[in-house]
Structure 1
């Protein structure tokens, strides 16, 4: 059950799209470098044997695997966020405050303004009334 009053934690935010795209392209380039190495080793290593077929399989299969892994986002490996409030210890609030000291309270009261009538140009108590 999600509560709308609790803001999302920084640990629950997904990875930034630029960081995710950079990680996927880096993974793709590494796999393509391995594919090129497999192709070069397949051609250069002589005498040909069972390992030649292994390098050929790597050169053929790795492009497909690289594309599939490059298209998979990081949501597959996403973990649930840890609630940081669980790590906080809350002591009793009343024990922290001294019983004889109460915090000062400031009260503000507003008064209603009295609307003026047209025949009251100078209200009583104004500076213009005393001349």
Structure 2
């Protein structure tokens, strides 16, 4: 029997924020490590020049950027609905022989409100 660490999803629902805590924490800690490195490089590299200001600016602004990126999570990624018919067709084409007494398939589609003409019918 095959075992997986990730649960298989049958929907297009995004992951829960509590499930993303590890990746967000790691991203934040990496950025804070880069901030500390920038601060050390700003002080340690001699002679001072334009790069000193770059390291200083990075050390000042990286905490804000790290917090924003850690709080974004997966909200920025688009989640698209899965088409179940594609999976059904790929499962077993030979086993899908239509029966004579099988009820007809009813398909429901949605239209965007802007696509319907004013006073018109959506069908």
Identify the TM-score tier after normalising by the shorter chain. Answer: 0.5 to 0.7
Name the residue aligned to 2:42: 42
Which blocks of at least 5 consecutive residues in structure 2 are unaligned? Answer: 1-8, 101-123
Which runs of at least 4 in structure 1 moved beyond 4 Å after TM superposition? Answer: none
The CA distance in 2 between the partners of 1:17 and 1:72, in whole Å, is 10
Pairs within 5 Å for 1:54-73: 54-73=54-73
Which residue is 2:29 aligned to? 29
Contact 2:13/2:79 (8 A) holds in 1: no
TM-score by length of 2: 0.61
Contiguous gaps of at least 5 residues in structure 1: 1-8, 96-131
Q: CA deviation at 1:67?
A: 0.9
The CA distance in 2 between the partners of 1:54 and 1:61, in whole Å, is 11
Q: Which residue of 2 aligns with 1:53?
A: 53
Deviation at 1:26, TM superposition (A): 0.9
Larger Rg: 1
Displacement, 1:83? 1.8
- Give 1:11 shift: 4.3
